[in-house]
Structure 1
């Protein structure tokens, strides 16, 4: 399978328009999802042996996956978040599950399934309970992207005698969800909500890998590069809009605005170089796990800093017009600022710096 990148590029204006429309009431990007599914984006991460593109699962597939996620994020960060979560679930099943797990998931995806990864706990964490009838689930997940639409989420759950395990839970129409988190200032179109798993039944063969695999390095940290790729797309779009709107207003010849354009281009390229490095390092099994994890953590902070710089440059360059809701820049700035809020940035930077204080990061 060869992915039609040019066809995806042609659809970017349509996907962006839907993201803007959905932002008003926190609607799910159903049209965009249907469109990228028709292009093969939801099956692209499957191995070539299962009729996918091998993006993120076959050796050398990271570059294609980076391109796919970056383009999707450029059009719509909420849609990019959903696609990244879908691909993350496939990646974890491919890495830690059995061949039967992956074949079964591939069948579901070809039949229209949308995967996701829901791991954020509430005060009522998800746990597996043994009953006479088998295994059942209790508890709920928060900040579940696509809570009303994901059909096959990969979740973490506590198994009392073993610890934290992963499993894929087909939810179908049996959903106990709260309303989407529309009070978030950005990423309102990703259908994020709280999902209760209490009452769901499962079987031992649904468990993916061994207890503790979800936190196993380097995948736990190194997989973050895929989120960076989506954020990079949002950075791309803001830099494009900054330049275009300055040209339209006849302000592009102002020396201070030219300086902002130059700084924005530098920040974008910095984010792109670090994201590519992270993708290649994460895809290279010859690199020590600790080195890969620490390198991607450095990249994560670099991309965050670049994104924040572009946000500031856009606001200063466009002034109050960047905050007018009818300007697409306003919505993209909110989406990007929300998307960049990943957990524990200070700890991430300190741990990566400590790892490379007496040694150099791997070259890619």
Structure 2
């Protein structure tokens, strides 16, 4: 319930003025378990979308269900056919499925994107706990506990109670791309935890004074701290601390690049420093590296990077004030 406004018995965690607190929550969740962080991030994103674009009735309905234990999510990935809203007379229903749907089998209040002609709409669904899902295709190296799979939604009726907002709201900026800082916060938490585990490893084995290991530790701390500066600033800008929406998106896109590079550098360094132990289950270093390397694969990283670079090139801002 924490993500809802106080009027809906929440603490406003998804509201602009609380993005700093949300950043801390997602960072700590990422340090503990990236699969849980992924599910909670999607849950909070769904609540934020309904609170931003939905009707009062939709907000109250979702808050009531979440208060009773329901899990929300945002399912946006489509297969080649895509999910469509098909109208037959006065009746409209979904035809198709969603893929890469995290929390499949657990989520009962997903927001799904669907095409109605040329328009993209958001639909807030209520699924039965036993709604069929297919997890057989989720064979990724990491993030196995997210229960990511395909969900056939064909036949679900769609009316005004299910449609959230207007056409195009889902990808409206700066909310769509600017919100990337949330998964970066989870990545950051896991990266920081890796650095701490590396410290524990070296101290417990009496290797903390090895000059090569000291060099590795210094590099890891610097990389993690650099990412934290960027992620926290991206959260602040997203929450309204920066008045230019285009700059907010550009900074979030750059934050993706910085966070990914920091995480990759830390993983490589920790694996080299810890040796074979870093690849053996059930050591937590192995688990975090496996999950983090998978979760880092967010969509279109090159496009995010190039858009951020283009935004700076088209501005007159000094590099230090980007």
Q: TM class, shorter-chain normalised?
A: over 0.9
What secondary structure, in the 3-state scheme, does the structure 2 residue paired with 1:205 have? coil
Provide, for residues 247-279 of structure 1, a one-character-per-residue CA deviation record: whole Å limited to 9, x for no partner.
111111101101111111111111111110100
Name the counterpart of 1:152.
109
Contact 1:46–1:52 at 8 Å: present in 2 too?
yes
What secondary structure, in the 3-state scheme, does the structure 2 residue paired with 1:184 have? coil
Distance 1:316 1:197, change over 3 A: same
Q: How many residues align?
A: 320
Q: Unmatched 5+ residue regions in structure 2?
A: none
Structure 1 runs of 4+ aligned residues shifted over 3 Å read: 361-364
Rounded to whole Å, the distance in 2 between the matches of 1:53 and 1:342 is: 29
Q: Give the deviation of 1:99 after TM superposition.
A: 2.4
Q: After the TM superposition, which residues 175-194 of structure 1 pair with which residues of structure 2 at under 5 Å, given as runs?
A: 175-194=131-150
RMSD: 1.6
**Is 1:54 aligned to residue 12 of structure 2?**
yes
TM-score normalized by structure 1? 0.85
1:239 to 195, 199, 204: 195
Of residues 79-88 and 325-334 in structure 1, the stretch that sits farther from structure 2 once superposed is 325-334
Rounded to whole Å, the distance in 1 between the matches of 2:257 and 2:24 is: 20
Name the counterpart of 1:125.
82
Provide, for residues 57-112 of structure 1, a one-character-per-residue CA deviation record: whole Å limited to 9, x for no partner.
2x411011111111111110000000000001011111122222212211111111
Rounded to whole Å, the distance in 2 between the matches of 1:362 and 1:222 is: 20
Name the counterpart of 2:281.
325
Rounded to whole Å, the distance in 1 between the matches of 2:92 and 2:219 is: 55
**Is 1:134 aligned to residue 134 of structure 2?**
no
Q: After the TM superposition, which residues 230-269 of structure 1 pair with which residues of structure 2 at under 5 Å, given as runs?
A: 230-269=186-225
Contact 2:105–2:130 at 8 Å: present in 1 too?
no
1:64 to 8, 16, 21: 21
Rounded to whole Å, the distance in 1 between the matches of 2:291 and 2:188 is: 12
TM-score normalized by structure 2? 0.95
Provide, for residues 270-296 of structure 1, a one-character-per-residue CA deviation record: whole Å limited to 9, x for no partner.
111111010000111751211111111
Provide, for residues 104-131 of structure 1, a one-character-per-residue CA deviation record: whole Å limited to 9, x for no partner.
2111111111001100001231111112
Q: After the TM superposition, which residues 1-364 of structure 1 pair with which residues of structure 2 at under 5 Å, given as runs?
A: 43-57=1-15, 59-132=16-89, 134-160=91-117, 163-173=119-129, 175-284=131-240, 287-357=243-313, 358-360=315-317
